Chain A
């Protein structure tokens, strides 16, 4: 099925470890983004990309890196994990025509940093 695929679904990290959360979409969407959701809170934008080779920061970018070498993939890298990064991470994608389309979200990666 067409959609946004996130891997892994669950991950436990030790403080200071690094890891990459994977996001792939097969809908030829130009726009991709990463959000985090903490308990009882709405989603907050971490980083986004409007096309291959173009990325920008959202509202909570510290501690995260992204790159976009292909249209399909948008990995999120945690450089040195901290307990404050314990959260559920969602990847989303959309066509660049923002007036006619909504976003498609992945099912999330639940990350725990101990």
Chain B
């Protein structure tokens, strides 16, 4: 399975943007890039996913490098509710499994 590398932790101030990097240098051409987050004492929550083009939704934006070896999840204005562990996951189209790594713990300062 292709692996992802994320920083262990990041801090942000409330109402400022947060850029969460993810490296996936061994990604295959058909792997989708998924992001999930897990708030304290809750189940993971789907955030966004993409294949090649940048994606936007109401929660975040996903910027994918042209060579697809890295991506960045962008939270445009962090709130205290965005404090969570964020997981970057590669998902082959023929595989149902989500392989969770350690993720990035995001702390938001008021």
| Interfacial residues, chain A to chain B (CB-CB below 8 A) | 4, 31, 33, 35, 41-45, 48, 50, 58-59, 90, 92, 94, 98-99, 102-108
Q: Interface size of B by Cβ–Cβ distance < 8 Å?
A: 23
Which of A59, A98, A105, A107 contacts B96 (CB under 8 A)? A98
Residues of chain B lying within 8 A (CB to CB) of residue A108: 41-43
Interface of B is mostly: loop
For residue B49, CB closer than 8 A to chain A, the reply is yes
Contact (Cβ within 8 A) B42 A42:
no
Q: Classify the secondary structure of A's interface with B.
A: strand
Closest A residue, CB atoms, query B97: A45
Whether B7 sits at the interface, judged by CB under 8 Å, is no
- Which B residue's beta carbon lies closest to that of A45? B97
A99 to B34, CA, bound (A): 10
| From B41, B46, B99, B103, contact of A102 by CB (8 A) | B46
Set A45, A99, A104: member contacting B98, Cβ < 8 A: A45
